[in-house]
Amino acid sequence: DGQSFSSKAKQHGQYYENKNNTNARPFLNSNAPPHQINSNPDSVSTFSIELKKLQDEFDKIKNEYEIKLLKTKESYDNQMKRIAQGWQLLNLQIKTQAEAVIDVYTVVCEIVPPITQSIQIVNQVLEKVNCNVNDVNERQQNDQMLTTTNYIINALNDRLQLLTDHHQKLQALMVKQNDLLLQGMNSLGQSLNE
107-137 pLDDT, tens per residue? Answer: 988 999 999 999 999 999 988 988 888 899 9
Per-residue pLDDT, 186 = 79
Q: Has residue 39 got a pLDDT over 80? A: no
What letter would DSSP give residue 133? -
Residues 95 and 119: their CA atoms lie apart, in Å, by: 36
What letter would DSSP give residue 33? -
For residue 20, name the pLDDT band (cuts at 50, 70, 90): low
Contact by Cβ (8 Å): 77, 192? yes
Opening angle at CA 51, ends 41 and 14, nearest 5: 25
What letter would DSSP give residue 25? -
Question: What Cα–Cα distance (Å) separates residue 166 from each residue in 44, 107, 150, 160, 172?
Answer: 89, 16, 24, 10, 10
Per-residue pLDDT, 16 = 43
| Residue 81 identity | K
The backbone torsions φ and ψ at residue 132, rounded to the nearest 5 degrees and listed phi first, read -95, 0
| Residue 159 identity | R
Residue 97, judged by CB atoms within 10 A of its CB (0-12, 13-18, 19+), counts as exposed
Contact by Cβ (8 Å): 84, 185? yes
Contact by Cβ (8 Å): 54, 46? no
What's the pTM value of the predicted model, to 2 decimals?
0.51
| % of the chain exceeding 70 in pLDDT | 77
For the CA atoms of 111, 117, 122, 124, the dihedral, rounded to the nearest 10 degrees, stands at 170
Residues 139 and 137: their CA atoms lie apart, in Å, by: 5
pLDDT tens for residues 86-100?
888 888 888 888 888
Q: Has residue 81 got a pLDDT over 60? A: yes
Residues 105 and 170: their CA atoms lie apart, in Å, by: 12
Q: Is 135 helix (H, G, I), strand (E, B) or coil?
A: coil
pLDDT tens for residues 137-155?
998 998 999 999 999 999 9
